[in-house]
Structure 1
């Protein structure tokens, strides 16, 4: 199956699956975690673990749903100080088999715990009894499918000429979908206590080791926004911190998005291509101007998301500065400041081109020569 084209349908389909018959079992997990009952957590996990031979016959949706349900136990065991594969016999080959089928890491990711996790009361899987966790999961669900659609649309836009009548409407469509990212950060700001996040939720997102490698816990940074920005403006950036950041999280997005990332790495970004096209035109047409204005609107929406995201992260990590030097996705919060600055720099590249003369106006070089 191809989980790229119809994002909401794919997410809903996986969320509805229960291949381990684990709904009732997982409803007991938060209370055991609250009591730090490791023996109880182990007993529940061992009760739902499938046979390896069965796992190896599953397709993508079933394997993704199974990894979701096993994954909540992985984060729980690590929160209580245990490496899951060291304390659960037979677990590691099951995780590796699920990873081969889904082409995702051998543990739960942001996808598993949010959009592949049913939101209905009595069905939603959680690590904790904390109400803020419900809001945390919902904050991602608000925007994930829209973001994935915006990324797909951005790839399509890459091949549309700036002076095409299609360019501006496609930019507006992308900007509209990205506004869901703004909605999600506003929702998180209003409903999730930074201190509660750090003290109650953050400990469940620690890295675990599987197959001799370390894999990061779920984090909002695993959303494919960084892939969209890679296509939009960052594919040829030489900023080493930014390059390392992207390479760290590429394994945690859908394989189709990893392919997009690889396709554009080292190639001109959409912004590069647009600036080259505008620069090659002595005079800008009305389509050029509409296209540049609409492209700028995408950057405007991105910055409306990034600026409050920085503030939210700062609040969280000021609350527990000594406890955690990195975010739940394994990155230093200061990287968000870098991303904000890089996005602003990219947007500024549009300004000089937007001031170029339009058809019917006197070219700048003749005006400057007087």
Structure 2
């Protein structure tokens, strides 16, 4: 099962189980020319024997999925369902998915955090803007993975426990680091490039009758933080829709976190009941800070999504993001009111 140790990430980045380095270096030119025939030949050339694929380590299987995925997305971008063109790839993708305990397609982890840097970088376009987006994913995903333990603490500790406040403080600091990385990326990469040039490479690929979206590097998987801070007992259909789309494509450890804590008691609920005064005050302050950063991060993300030339519908990324942002802000407001009310009541009693 895939975890988060840095040595494993480095092993995946270094691995080239398909011997794909030279061939994948030519993919940006194939895409520039919309050379479907060459891309089809490349995918067929890289598909390994099933027996060989079944023997790879988890890390080797992840690297192989990463490399096949670049060709899946490239063919799809040019209007071809890759497994219709190269059907022998299907059983291999299923083997790799089972081996890594992930979906039978590449995800944002394959495309960013597990992607080698420098000359070996796997890329659709070879454009510097794409490299910047991939670097943003390499910076953000480990930070968000590091929040899982603290999110789990928040769901099981009481607000008066000093560890509760410390966990919330660490979550807030990691959200701040995520927001800083996003700010840098927004300054360097235009929404138009993402929407018009890169997004078509993330279109859905049919795998055994099921449509799997591509590894969009612009997605921010913040849902574990949502669950711990407010959503496990305060979500609505819009947030449920986000979870339905994102959880299946997460790492095994992230999906395990969701299964364990989706029906827990959120930090907002715990502190709304306690009032965030006395021994609970440090936790209330840390939670307020985390929610403030989270709403700012989502507002910035929404602005970027809305600047991209793409129609907004009730199920579009912008509409779902707006709904989740509104819910986050509502919980932040509710916490502030509960804290102020309890503080005022305590002062009056004194």
TM-score (norm 1): 0.88
Counterpart CA distance in 1 for 2:217 and 2:226 is 15
* 1:363 equivalenced with 2:346 (yes/no): yes
* 1:339 equivalenced with 2:327 (yes/no): no
TM-superposed CA distance for 1:298, in Å, is: 0.9
| Aligned partner (choices 186, 190, 199) of residue 183 of structure 2 | 186
Counterpart CA distance in 2 for 1:3 and 1:190 is 32
The structure where helix makes up a greater share of residues is 2
Counterpart CA distance in 2 for 1:129 and 1:114 is 14
Aligned to 2:141: 144
Counterpart CA distance in 2 for 1:326 and 1:10 is 40
Counterpart CA distance in 2 for 1:345 and 1:10 is 39
TM-superposed CA distance for 1:230, in Å, is: 1.6
Aligned to 2:256: 259
Structure number with larger C-alpha Rg: 1
Range moving further from structure 2, 9-18 or 188-197: 9-18
* 1:95 equivalenced with 2:88 (yes/no): no
| Aligned partner (choices 207, 214, 217) of residue 217 of structure 1 | 214
Whether contact under 8 Å (1:83, 1:208) holds in the other structure is yes
Residues paired across the two proteins, number:
350
TM-score (norm 2): 0.93
Counterpart CA distance in 2 for 1:127 and 1:75 is 8
Counterpart CA distance in 1 for 2:83 and 2:345 is 70
1:4-45 deviations in Å (ceiling 9; x for gaps): 4x3x33322211111111111110110011001111112222
Aligned to 2:310: 321
Aligned to 2:157: 160
Aligned to 2:107: 109
Question: What CA RMSD, in Å, does the superposition of the two structures yield over aligned residues?
Answer: 2.2
Counterpart CA distance in 2 for 1:332 and 1:357 is 38
* 1:52 equivalenced with 2:50 (yes/no): yes
Change (3 A) 1:299 1:60: same
Aligned to 2:3: 3
1:150-195 deviations in Å (ceiling 9; x for gaps): 1321112322321123332222211111112102221221111122
Counterpart CA distance in 2 for 1:127 and 1:40 is 14
Whether contact under 8 Å (2:155, 2:264) holds in the other structure is no
- Post-superposition, which runs of at least 4 consecutive aligned residues in structure 1 deviate over 4 A? 220-223, 364-367
Extract unaligned runs of 5+ from structure 2.
none
Extract unaligned runs of 5+ from structure 1.
none
